[in-house]
Amino acid sequence: MKKLKFLLILLIIITTFLLIYSILSPNIIINQRKINLGDEFNPDIEIYNLFEDLTDNAIITENVDTKKVGIYEIKCQIKYLFFRINRSIVVEVIDKEKPVITLEGNNPSLVCPNGIYKEEGYTAIDNYDKNITDKVSTTKIDNNIFYSVKDSSGNETIVKREIKFVDEEKPILTLNGTNNITLYLGSKYVEPGYRAIDNCDGDITNKVIITGNVDTNRIGTYKINYEVSDSSGNKATTIRNIIIKKKTISYGNGIIYLTFDDGPSYLTSKVLDILNEEKIKATFFVTNADIYTKRAYEEGHTIGLHSYTHDYSYIYANSKNYFDDLNKISNKVHDVIGIYPRIIRFPGGSSNTVSRNYADKIMTFLTEEVVNRGYTYFDWNVDANDAGSDINNSINIYYNVVNNLSHNKTNVVLMHDSMGHIATVNALKDIIRYGKENGYTFKAITNDTPVIRHSVNN
């Protein structure tokens, strides 16, 4: 009985002790166990027992870096009455943000019907891992490409690019030469050519359809239509206007057109000074282009083409040589003054017979062909003979000109401003004075000047 009583008392003591212990024992509560990367960490630890808040009795050590993903231990040491408690609590800094995939190029991406999609590029940037483009994997399913990437915390992003196999782009249709060609009645129209390039089909020049026709024997404006479609039915069209015009031929305008061949040279500047002083315009058929050519053009004179080589044996050997030479001087002039002159003069004139030495009937062919190509050629009907026996004789040059002027014709005067023609320069002022005193006007040759042409002898 005594033993039982003792056990009972013991039980009461233990119970009481446990009760007191549990009443006094500090409870530790931490509210923040998971912290998002970059968020502020505030341990927010509560320590208390039934009677009071014991937070002040605790020493807390922590080294949580919220900028670094990881698991951190927080140590909590409490001294209170007879309690000595050491607790460690775990918190985790986590990254919940997904990487961002940016697609370069187009979405949807347009690819030619028979084409192959070429990757247009992409980048993947993660808030924590930074650039993870190299971790992107691509998968092609039907006409879609899926780009997926996971950051080191396992956050996954998937982006889709759609591929459309279509051609919505028109071919590019370009015409050789100009879109407006002026030809004279009775000449021949030669198609200058064209080119059609498609983004998907490549060169489709042979698919160009041309409609419309030109009657060079009838005055008017003719439209040539060019049309081309690519294999997806995208159509491109363009038009060329051919203007057929009557060339006025009149021998009675009484105007003097001074023309200077074979320049420019240093003498050109002297010629320009005189023309400037006398306030008249002239025409230069050039074999080169330089600052004097530029000055002549800027001062309102006409620049015509003569020849690049002025070598009869070359230019009159065949028509290819002739046009190669003409294109050369044309490009040279274009480089200097920015235009391609359309007014020309044949070396030796269209009536020359020297060409017979190199090719039979070449002048017959060339005089037609230059017109077909849109050029207007001029010969002359007043010869200063300054490239002949009177090269050094200013007086003869003067009379050669003034004795052949007439109010009943269009006076196209042949002179030279190349090296060695100082006598021409010396006669020029007197020629102009004579013209002015006798009621003539001076003009530069234009497209509207009546043509003066010799008869062809070869």
Residues in touch with Zn ion (CB under 5 A) = 261-262, 347
Please name every residue paired with 412 in a beta bridge, in sequence order, or none if there are none.
257
Min dist. Cβ of residue 382 to Zn ion (A): 16
Phi, psi of 19 (to 5 degrees): -65, -50
Nearer to Zn ion, 230 or 261 (CB): 261
Q: Is 227 helix (H, G, I), strand (E, B) or coil?
A: strand
Among candidates 222, 167, 217, which has minimal Cα distance to 191?
Answer: 222
Min dist. Cβ of residue 347 to Zn ion (A): 5
Burial annotation 109-131 (CB, 10 A radius, 16+ → b, else e): bbbbeeeebeeeebebebbbbee
Min dist. Cβ of residue 458 to Zn ion (A): 17
Nearer to Zn ion, 151 or 386 (CB): 386
Angle in degrees, 0-180, between the axes of helices 291-298 and 266-278, rounded to the nearest 10:
10
Nearer to Zn ion, 201 or 262 (CB): 262
* Amino acid occupying residue 448: D
Nearer to Zn ion, 200 or 315 (CB): 315
Min dist. Cβ of residue 329 to Zn ion (A): 12
Among candidates 271, 200, 236, 289, which has minimal Cα distance to 422?
Answer: 271
Nearer to Zn ion, 95 or 390 (CB): 390
Nearer to Zn ion, 99 or 347 (CB): 347
Among candidates 247, 237, 232, 186, which has minimal Cα distance to 378?
Answer: 247
Cα(374)–Cα(361) distance, integer angstroms: 21
Min dist. Cβ of residue 349 to Zn ion (A): 9
Distances (CA, A) of 235 to 57, 140, 207, 231: 87, 32, 11, 10
Min dist. Cβ of residue 236 to Zn ion (A): 45
Nearer to Zn ion, 128 or 312 (CB): 312
Burial annotation 404-426 (CB, 10 A radius, 16+ → b, else e): ebeeebbbbbbbbbbeebebbbb
- Does the N-terminal peptide bond of residue 108 adopt cis geometry, omega within 30 degrees of 0? yes
Min dist. Cβ of residue 306 to Zn ion (A): 6
Residue nearest to Zn ion (CB): 261
Min dist. Cβ of residue 272 to Zn ion (A): 19
Phi, psi of 167 (to 5 degrees): -120, 110
Nearer to Zn ion, 91 or 363 (CB): 363
Nearer to Zn ion, 147 or 346 (CB): 346
Q: Is 17 helix (H, G, I), strand (E, B) or coil?
A: helix
